[in-house]
Amino acid sequence: MSEPVLIARDVVAGYVPGMPICHGVSIDVRPGEIVTIIGPNGAGKSTFLKALAGLVLFESGTVHCLGQDVSGRPSHELIQLGLGFVPQTGNVFTGLTIHENLVMGGHTLSAAELKTRLARTYEQFPLLAERRSATGGVLSGGQRQTLAVARALMTDPRVIMLDEPTAGLSPRVVGEVFASLRGLAQEGVAVLMVEQNAKAALRISDRGYVLAEGRNRMAASAADLLVDPAVGEAFLGGKRHAR
Ligand SMILES: Nc1ncnc2c1ncn2[C@@H]1O[C@H](COP(=O)(O)OP(=O)(O)OP(=O)(O)O)[C@@H](O)[C@H]1O
Ligand SMILES: [Mg+2]
């Protein structure tokens, strides 16, 4: 099996110095793998992804991304290195058009690269091409999520992190978002997501982690987590777990 391209070890991070939310979280993600983090509300899942993305106070621990030590590096450096991040909220500029949002996603690219990537994005997501002049604010939840993912893909990330990519979407659109993540993984992209939609997310994942109170609680194959009674009861909608 290939080496992990994202390795976090004992990450301590938060918003206020000396008052961390993540108390030493560790994860690995390999190329082509989909890894899902689940856990109760307030467990620190979003904070952890933001710590890896260079968006919150990084107190200690290490993060290696694509062979480089990126511990505590700012987000623009991580984007240039090949890390994409789709945050839980505010993932689309609602006052800007679809086109402008995509251009923002590609702001680190040269003019020539930007042109090529925009063309590729519109080919890949015809819906965005059709509505390129519509502002983010008038899009449906599914369209907005598609735009958020497409924007993160503008820089061709080798590692992509998504915070609740299917929140608020209809089951059909959830399926579409997950299908696009599978497609990315098949191209060798390492996918790390946080999901409340735990059962559906684990079904398309290779492995999963349970986070609680800012700490690792469990790490297992997605298949094992899906049939674990404790996980089922807490996160997968009751005692009758997936089958
Ligand atoms: N911007 C912020 N400033 C200060 N504290 C914050 C901030 N954002 C989150 N927190 C605190 O960090 C803790 C963990 O929040 P976080 O959003 O990481 O949890 P989560 O596991 O993603 O929860 P959810 O499942 O509800 O999205 C919470 O106690 C929250 O109040
Ligand atoms: Mg969250």
State yes or no: pLDDT of 67 exceeds 90. yes
* Average pLDDT over every residue of 177-195: 94
The ligand placed nearest to the CA atom of residue 210 is 1
**Which residue do the tokens 């996980």 mark?**
231
Is residue 205 lining ligand 1, measured as CB closer than 6 Å?
Answer: no
* Average pLDDT over every residue of 94-116: 94
60 within a domain of the structure (yes/no): yes
Whichever domain contains 160, its CATH number is: 3.40.50.300
Counting the structural domains of the chain, the total is 1
Is residue 45 lining ligand 1, measured as CB closer than 6 Å?
Answer: yes
What is the predicted pLDDT for the residue at 239? 45
Is residue 214 lining ligand 1, measured as CB closer than 6 Å?
Answer: no
What's the gap in Å between 130 CA and the centre of ligand 2? 31
- Write the pLDDT tens digit of every residue in 19-38: 999 999 999 999 999 999 99
Report CA dihedral (22, 25, 29, 35) to the nearest 10 degrees: -70
88 within a domain of the structure (yes/no): yes
Is residue 49 lining ligand 1, measured as CB closer than 6 Å?
Answer: no
1 within a domain of the structure (yes/no): no
At residue 168 the predicted structure's pLDDT band, cuts being 50, 70 and 90, is: confident
Q: Which domain holds residue 11?
A: 6-235
* Average pLDDT over every residue of 112-128: 93
153 within a domain of the structure (yes/no): yes
240 within a domain of the structure (yes/no): no
89 within a domain of the structure (yes/no): yes
- Write the pLDDT tens digit of every residue in 209-232: 999 999 999 999 999 999 998 888
* Ligand 1 atom at minimal distance to the Cα of residue 39: 21
Can you list the positions of beta strands (E) in the chain?
6-16, 19-29, 34-38, 57-65, 68-69, 83-86, 159-163, 190-194, 207-212, 215-221
202 within a domain of the structure (yes/no): yes
194 within a domain of the structure (yes/no): yes
Which residue has its alpha carbon closest to ligand 1 atom 24? 41
State yes or no: pLDDT of 83 exceeds 90. yes
In whole angstroms, what is the distance from residue 137 CA to residue 141 CA?
10
Of the listed ranges 1-15, 139-153, 185-199, the least confidently predicted one is: 139-153
* Ligand 1 atom at minimal distance to the Cα of residue 50: 18
Which residue has its alpha carbon closest to ligand 1 atom 28? 42
At residue 85 the predicted structure's pLDDT band, cuts being 50, 70 and 90, is: very high
